[in-house]
Chain A
Amino acid sequence: MNVFRLTGDLSHLAAIIILLLKIWKTRSCAGISGKSQILFALVFTTRYLDLLTSFISLYNTCMKIIYVGCAYATVYLIYAKFRATYDGNHDTFRIEFLVVPVGGLAFLVNHDFSPLEILWTFSIYLESVAILPQLFMISKTGEAETITTHYLFCLGVYRALYLFNWIWRFYFEGFFDMIAIVAGVVQTILYCDFFYLYVTKVNAVQRFQ
């Protein structure tokens, strides 16, 4: 555990809580891509199956349970409790175009050809592109609420901090996970355009187009 890893995890947690609270407080999920949230629930489910097979630390176990729980709570709020406010007409990204290729890639490029390891690899690849339906939705409607942009910013910061974490671990621990690093770089790059808009527009006018 290093400072980049810890702040990355906390930034990730902040993003998840911000989204959940926004939907709960406004009693609306307008502008939120339910498809991205389904993908994140799928990411956490397939990655954290090791909760059932191995214990790493209390921190690790608690965070995994919180992430999974919040992901399903968010999906529930969007598709059940506040379904009437869900903007399905603008959430038109075809997620099978992500899930199917990512599933194929996980079978072909992995550390070990075992069920848990393939599912872990699938979750890493899928996470790197899971935000695309949300970004697609924003590009389609041409706007996002400020709080939604804070959510996206925290998510992007989390992945960027993980990159620094991997650099740290490479130098000080000799740790090197090519699958996580390549997927992490791809994921961070996807946020770059958004980062630029966030810094130049959101802070200036509190709403961006």
Chain B
Amino acid sequence: GTLVEDHDEL
């Protein structure tokens, strides 16, 4: 799953 508030993509 993805880490919340860790969006490294643009």
Q: A residues bordering B, Cβ < 8 Å?
A: 5, 9, 12, 47, 50, 53-54, 56-57, 60, 63-64, 67, 111-112, 114, 116-117, 120, 162, 165, 175-177, 180
A111 touches B9 (CB 8 A): no
- The residue that A175 contacts in the complex, of B2, B4, B5, B10, with Cβ under 8 A, is B2
Main secondary structure, interface of B, reads loop
- Nearest chain-B residue to A48 (Cβ)? B10
B10 touches A63 (CB 8 A): yes
Chain A residues whose CB sits within 8 angstroms of the CB of B6 once the complex forms: 54, 56
Chain B, interface residues (CB within 8 Å), range:
under 10
A12 to B9, CA, bound (A): 12
- The residue that B10 contacts in the complex, of A64, A111, A112, A117, with Cβ under 8 A, is A64
B7 touches A67 (CB 8 A): no
- Nearest chain-A residue to B7 (Cβ)? A120
A5 touches B7 (CB 8 A): no
The 7 A-B pairs with the shortest beta carbon distances in the complex, nearest first, are: A177-B2, A112-B4, A111-B4, A56-B8, A63-B10, A9-B10, A117-B4
A162 touches B9 (CB 8 A): yes
A116 touches B10 (CB 8 A): no
A57 to B4, CA, bound (A): 17
- The residue that A60 contacts in the complex, of B2, B4, B8, with Cβ under 8 A, is B8
